[in-house]
Every structure is written in structure tokens, then in C-alpha cells.
């Protein structure tokens, strides 16, 4: 048990981590929570029961001792009064001797040496009356209240709990019992007998110590039993969790061992049956996926040859379109346009099939992301101008070479620019490039319609378009952003998206500077903070900066 719990708590270089690790262990381990809660609740129950028993024993023990001392005190007082009544002492010396023998008798019968007597103030004065006498132990514990009660109730006993301090300075609990006696020729005296309960306190302390030791032993034994029981129950659950994780990681052949015929064995059998069914279904889906991928790849390859022939024929016809009459010329133009789109779709399908088959190989070389972006911008300037958009390039960083596949990065930038032109509503488009020690980032910002949360969640899905009813400025079947996402991941980077309806959209590409670099924070923010993001005059600043953007692209 100690190795199971203490080792995770002490793993680390400092004790300051122990509270945090304890909280983590509490949240993650059902076994720890069960044992600790059982220990605490059992300890609380034993504490309450122990206190109740201790108070009950203490009260019963005190009452038993009190009953005994009251009987002894009454016997001693009766014997003392009998001695005094039978005496014929008539002078002071004889009375003092009589009081001495009376006190001795009281000490013997009561079993206490702590005796005190006082002549009541209401008695008639007598010259032969013995003087008051008090034991040092009782000198400071007899209260005026006790004396008043003894004086007012003749023939009765009264007692009071006190703390008695012995000659050696030890203080113990006790009681003082008071009553009155009549001394012939001297009047009425108050008689007080002190009883020390030290032995009773020792007995109670011994019983309490024994109870504490027994409670601790019971608590430890109960904790060990609970730990063993919980471990016996929890371990199969932990095995189920471990096997589930292995199944989630793709190890479909793992199974739970089945032992016995109890509920845990039934759980293991049901789990194994579920795993068998899951493995069979996943196998079927994997086979179907392989067939589908092979079909797409084979069809794409088979279409390349006839498509190439059709493309060559359409190019020849397209070059001679001016020689044809009106309807025929228009038909040739449509044939050429759709053939180009068909070829682009076929290329995208082949690329997707390569990613699905895991056969993509990057051709890395040192390249400048800013120059790649500038080249891509230049190639789509005509398309942007056709819809009334300007493309601005801002590059405060990113001029150093980065280890990438230039063809794929240029394809990502072209896809992002095409998406911005398509949905930018003729507003300016801002391309930003920046870098830090480990990463280089590129963002494409448009000020178009933007997207909803649902659209943002599907924008990287294959064959999905935000608004299929919109007129397409450029071709595409919804594969461009999906391929761009795969290209970014293949480089060890990422492609992120921010969008807001009525404000616009930002796509951010983040790439590591070298092939073996670990992913780092992007040098460019995803959420735009530019002053043009909102407000009626948001495009005026962009137009004023257009010259700076062109100079940066030309550099």
C-alpha cells in the first residue's frame, strides 16, 4: 500500500509538489478515495463512540466513588457523634483530648486524613470549646457556600467537587463532604472530610489509554481490510480501463482474462464480446476504406490518360475558337473550362488518395516564405482584380529561409488566397508573414461575410462548401482546404481558422523553421486586432498602406 500511494506523492524534486500530487492522486484514483474516506469516516465513528463511552465510564466511576465516600463519611460522622455523646469531659483539656480521639476515629472509619472542623458562629460561646482545626489540604478548598449549607441544615450531609493538592504539589480531583456534630459543653461544630480520587482518575486514564490503543488498532485493521477488499474489486476495473485504452490506441487483439463465474467474470466476458464485435466492425470498415481508396486511386489514374487526350484536343479547339461561329465558339470555351476544372479535381483526388494511403513524401529545401507568398499573390492578382479586391502583403519577419516543401506551401497559400477572393466580397485581402526563433507563420485576412460556428467546424471537411448556391469565381470542389490542412500537418505545423459573421475570416498557417523542430507558439495572432476589423471606415487605412505592401512584395 505504501509503495502504491507514497511513491507518486514523493515523485519529484521538492516537497512543495506533494499537495498538488496528492490532489491529483485523489482525483484520479477511486481506490485512494475509497480507502481514505473509509478511514476518515471510521475514525470519526470510533471517536464519537469512544468519547461517549469515556464520558459514560467517567460519570459512572465518579458516581460510584461518590456513593462510597458518602457512606464512609456518614459512618464516620455517626461514630464521632456517638463518642462525643458518651463523654463526660468538663474542662478544656478534656474536650481537646476528646476531639483528638474523635478525629482519629473519623480518619480510621472514613479512610481519609484530610479532616477539618469549625465551631459554628451561632453556638453559645464557651471558654472550654476546642479551637478550630483544618488540614492543610482542605485549607483553601472549603467554600463559603458549602459552609452555609451545612450550617443551615443540621443533621444532613453536603458535598462539593474540588481539586486537592497534596504536600508534594500534585493536584488530583476529589470531593469534600460536610456535616455537623454536637460537642457537649462546647456547641455545634462543622465537620469536613476530604476524599482524594487519584486512584479513580488513574483507573479512568488506564481505561481511556486502553480504549485509544484498541481504537487505533481497530482503525488500522479496518483500513487494511478495506484496502484489500477495494483492491480486489478495483483491480479488475483498472484492467478494464487499461484494455479500453489499448483498444482506443488501435490494439484490437487485446482481451480481458476471465476467472471464475462471478459478476466480474461476467463483465470480462461481456467486454470481450464487445471487443470482438468492435474488431470485426473496424476490420470491415478498414477493408471498405482500403477498397474505396484503391478505387479512387485506380479511377484517378485510369482517367489521367483519356483526360490528357481530351485536354490536348480541347486546347487545339480553344486556340481555334475564333474560327468557329458563335454557338460553336462558346461551346469550345465551355469545353476548355470544364476540362481544366476536371483536371484540377483529378489532381486533388490523387493527392487525397496519397494522404489516405500514407505515401506522401515531402521534398524539403530551403525556401523563403515571404517570396513564396509574393509569388502566389502575383499569380492571383488578376482574379482578385476581377472581383475588385486588392491583396496587400505585410512581412515584418519571415525573410530567413525555412526548411519546407515549396510546392506544397505555395499550394496552401494559393488555396487560402482563392478562398479569400471567393468570399471576400471585393474587399481588400491582407497577407501577413512573421517569424520567431522556432516558427514562421502566414495569415490570410479577408473582410468578407465571415462564417458561423457550424461552418467553421466543417470548413476543412472534404467536398464541403460554405454556400453551394454562390457563383464560383474560381474552380474547386471543396478539396482545397482539406488538402491544405494535410499539407500543413505533413510539415509538422498547423492550419487554424478564426471567423466572425459580418467581420471576416483569418486563416493562419504555422510551420516549424526546421524539419526536426518541435512545435512552438505562432508568431502571429489568430484573432485580428487591426483597427480596420470593425467600423464603417475600416478599409481606408488598408488602401493607404497599399504602396507599402507592393514594395514589400517586390523586395
Q: Which residue has the cell 481508396?
A: 293
What does the alpha-carbon distance between residue 6 and residue 383 come to, in Å, rounded to a whole number? 67
The pLDDT of 99-108, averaged and rounded, is 89
395: pLDDT strictly greater than 80: yes
- The model's pLDDT over 341-392, given as tens digits with 9 standing for 90+, comes to 777 777 777 777 777 777 778 889 999 999 999 999 999 999 899 899 999 9
Give the 3-state secondary structure percentages of the chain, helix then strand then coil, rounded to 5. Answer: 60, 15, 25
Q: How confident is the model at residue 442 (pLDDT cuts 50, 70, 90)?
A: very high
Among 178-192, 288-302, 394-408, the minimum mean pLDDT is found in 288-302
pLDDT value, residue 329:
83
Please state the domain extents for the chain. Answer: 88-198, 264-355, 362-554
Helix (H) or strand (E) holding 190: strand 187-196
Query: Over the Cα atoms of the chain, what is R_g?
Result: 51
Asked if residue 430 has pLDDT above 90, the reply is yes
Helix axes 198-248, 263-319, angle to 10 degrees: 40
For 42, 63, 202, 204, 222, the CA distances from 53, given in Å and listed in that order, are: 16, 15, 17, 11, 20
- Domain 264-355 -> CATH class: mainly alpha
The least confident of 96-105, 324-333, 347-356 is 347-356
Nearest-angstrom CA–CA distance, 473 and 421: 8
**Residues forming beta bridges with residue 511, ordered by sequence position:** 440
Look at domain 88-198 and name its CATH class: alpha beta
Burial 59-74 (b: 16+ CB within 10 A, else e): eebbeebbeebeebbe
Residue linked to cell 461476467: 266
The Cα 244–Cα 418 span in angstroms is 44
Instruction: Give the model confidence (pLDDT) of 173-198 as tens digits.
Output: 899 999 998 888 788 888 999 998 88
Instruction: Look at the alpha carbons of 176, 182, 183, 189 in this order and tell me if their dihedral is positive or negative.
Output: positive
Strand order of the sheet with strand 504-512? 391-394, 429-435, 439-446, 504-512, 494-500
By mean pLDDT, which of 287-301, 363-377, 397-411 is the weakest? 287-301
CATH of region 362-554, choose from 3.40.640.10, 3.40.50.970, 3.30.565.10, 3.40.50.620 = 3.30.565.10
Asked if the domains at 88-198 and 264-355 fall in one CATH topology, the answer is: no
Amino acid at each position: 500500500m505504501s509503495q502504491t500511494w507514497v511513491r507518486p506523492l514523493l515523485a519529484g524534486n521538492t516537497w512543495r509538489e506533494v499537495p498538488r500530487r496528492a490532489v491529483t492522486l485523489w482525483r484520479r484514483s477511486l481506490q485512494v478515495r475509497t480507502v481514505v474516506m473509509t478511514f476518515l469516516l471510521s475514525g470519526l465513528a470510533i471517536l464519537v463512540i469512544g468519547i461517549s463511552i469515556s464520558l459514560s465510564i467517567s460519570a459512572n466511576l465518579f458516581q460510584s466513588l461518590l456513593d462510597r465516600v458518602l457512606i464512609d463519611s456518614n459512618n464516620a460522622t455517626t461514630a464521632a457523634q456517638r463518642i462525643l455523646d458518651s463523654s463526660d469531659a468538663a474542662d478544656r483539656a478534656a474536650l481537646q483530648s476528646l476531639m483528638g480521639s474523635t478525629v482519629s476515629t473519623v480518619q480510621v472509619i472514613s479512610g481519609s486524613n484530610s479532616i477539618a472542623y469549625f465551631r459554628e458562629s451561632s453556638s453559645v460561646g464557651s471558654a472550654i470549646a476546642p479551637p478550630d482545626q483544618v488540614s492543610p489540604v482542605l485549607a483553601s478548598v472549603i467554600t463559603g457556600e458549602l459552609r452555609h449549607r451545612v450550617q443551615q441544615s443540621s443533621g444532613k450531609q453536603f458535598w462539593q467537587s474540588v481539586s486537592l493538592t497534596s504536600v508534594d504539589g500534585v493536584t488530583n480531583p476529589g470531593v469534600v463532604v460536610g456535616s455537623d456534630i454536637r460537642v457537649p459543653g462546647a456547641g455545634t461544630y462543622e465537620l469536613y472530610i476530604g476524599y482524594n480520587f487519584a486512584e479513580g482518575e488513574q483507573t479512568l486514564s488506564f481505561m481511556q489509554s486502553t480504549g485509544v490503543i484498541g481504537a487505533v488498532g481497530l482503525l488500522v485493521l479496518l483500513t487494511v481490510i478495506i484496502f484489500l477488499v477495494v483492491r480486489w474489486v478495483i483491480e479488475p476495473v483498472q484492467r478494464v480501463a487499461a484494455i479500453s485504452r489499448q483498444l482506443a490506441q488501435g490494439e484490437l487483439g487485446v482481451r480481458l482474462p476471465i476467472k471464475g463465474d462471478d459478476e466480474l467474470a461476467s463483465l470480462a466476458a461481456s467486454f470481450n464480446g464487445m471487443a470482438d464485435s468492435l474488431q470485426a466492425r473496424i476490420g470491415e470498415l478498414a477493408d471498405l476504406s482500403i477498397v474505396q481508396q484503391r478505387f479512387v486511386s485506380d479511377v484517378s489514374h485510369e482517367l489521367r490518360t483519356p483526360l490528357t487526350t481530351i485536354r490536348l484536343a480541347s486546347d487545339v479547339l480553344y486556340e481555334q475558337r475564333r474560327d468557329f461561329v458563335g454557338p460553336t465558339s462558346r461551346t469550345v470555351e465551355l469545353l476548355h473550362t470544364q476540362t481544366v476544372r476536371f483536371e484540377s479535381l483529378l489532381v486533388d483526388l490523387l493527392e487525397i488518395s496519397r494522404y489516405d494511403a500514407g505515401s506522401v513524401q515531402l521534398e524539403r529545401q530551403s525556401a523563403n516564405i515571404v517570396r513564396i507568398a509574393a509569388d502566389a499573390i502575383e499569380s492571383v492578382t488578376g482574379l482578385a482584380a476581377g472581383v475588385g479586391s486588392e491583396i496587400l502583403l505585410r512581412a515584418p519577419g519571415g525573410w530567413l529561409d525555412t526548411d519546407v516543401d515549396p510546392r506544397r506551401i505555395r499550394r496552401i497559400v494559393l488555396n487560402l488566397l482563392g478562398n479569400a477572393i471567393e468570399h471576400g466580397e471585393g474587399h481588400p485581402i491582407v497577407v501577413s508573414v512573421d517569424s520567431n526563433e522556432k516558427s514562421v507563420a502566414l495569415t490570410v485576412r479577408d473582410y468578407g461575410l465571415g462564417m458561423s460556428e457550424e461552418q467553421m467546424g466543417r470548413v476543412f471537411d472534404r467536398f464541403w462548401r460554405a454556400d453551394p448556391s454562390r457563383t464560383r469565381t474560381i474552380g474547386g470542389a471543396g478539396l482545397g482546404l482539406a488538402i491544405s490542412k494535410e499539407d500543413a500537418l505533413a510539415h509538422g505545423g498547423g492550419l487554424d481558422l478564426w471567423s466572425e459573421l459580418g467581420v471576416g475570416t483569418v486563416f493562419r498557417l504555422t510551420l516549424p523553421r526546421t524539419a526536426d523542430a518541435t512545435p512552438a507558439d505562432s508568431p502571429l495572432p489568430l484573432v485580428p486586432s487591426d483597427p480596420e476589423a470593425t467600423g464603417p471606415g475600416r478599409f481606408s487605412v488598408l488602401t493607404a498602406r497599399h504602396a507599402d505592401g507592393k514594395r514589400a512584395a517586390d523586395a
